Amino acid sequence: QVQLQESGPGLVKPSETLSLTCAVSSYSISSGYYWGWIRQPPGKGLEWIGSIYHSGGTYYNPSLKSRVTISVDTSKNQFSLKLSSVTAADTAVYYCARHIATAVTGWFDPWGQGTLVTVSS
Amino acid sequence: SYGLTQPPSVSVSPGQTARITCSADALPKQYAYWYQQKPGQAPVLVIYKDNERPSGIPERFSGSSSGTTVTLTISGVQAEDEADYYCQSADSSGTYVFGTGTKVTVV
- Would you tell me how many other CB atoms lie within 10 Å of the CB of residue B17? 12
Judge: A46–B43 Cβ closer than 8 Å, yes or no. yes
Q: 3-class SS at A53?
A: strand
Q: Single out the residue of B74, B87, B90 nearest to residue B34, CA to CA.
A: B87
**Do the beta carbons of residue A78 and residue A24 sit within 8 Å?**
yes
**Residues in chain B, how many?**
107
pLDDT value at residue B48:
96
Q: What percent of chain A has pLDDT over 90?
A: 93
Q: B69-74 and B61-66 as β-strands: parallel, antiparallel, unpaired? A: antiparallel
Instruction: Provide the pLDDT confidence category of residue B45 given band limits of 50, 70 and 90.
Output: very high
- The region, left, alpha or beta by phi > 0 then psi within -120 to 50, assigned to residue A26 is left
Judge: B86–A109 Cβ closer than 8 Å, yes or no. no
Residues 67-106 of A with CB under 8 A from B: 95, 104-106
Please indicate if any CB of chain A lies within 8 Å of the CB of B36: no
Instruction: Provide the pLDDT confidence category of residue B6 given band limits of 50, 70 and 90.
Output: very high
Tens digits of residue pLDDT in A1-18: 999 999 999 999 999 999
For residue B38, is pLDDT > 60? yes
HSE (CB half, 13 Å, CA atoms) of B94?
A: 10
Tens digits of residue pLDDT in A74-101: 999 999 999 999 999 999 999 999 999 9
Q: DSSP assignment of B48-102, as one string?
A: BTTTB--TTS-TTEEEEEETTEEEEEESS--GGG-EEEEEEEE-TTS-EEE---E
Please indicate if any CB of chain B lies within 8 Å of the CB of A114: yes
Cα(A111)–Cα(A48) distance, integer angstroms: 13
Cα(B74)–Cα(A45) distance, integer angstroms: 21
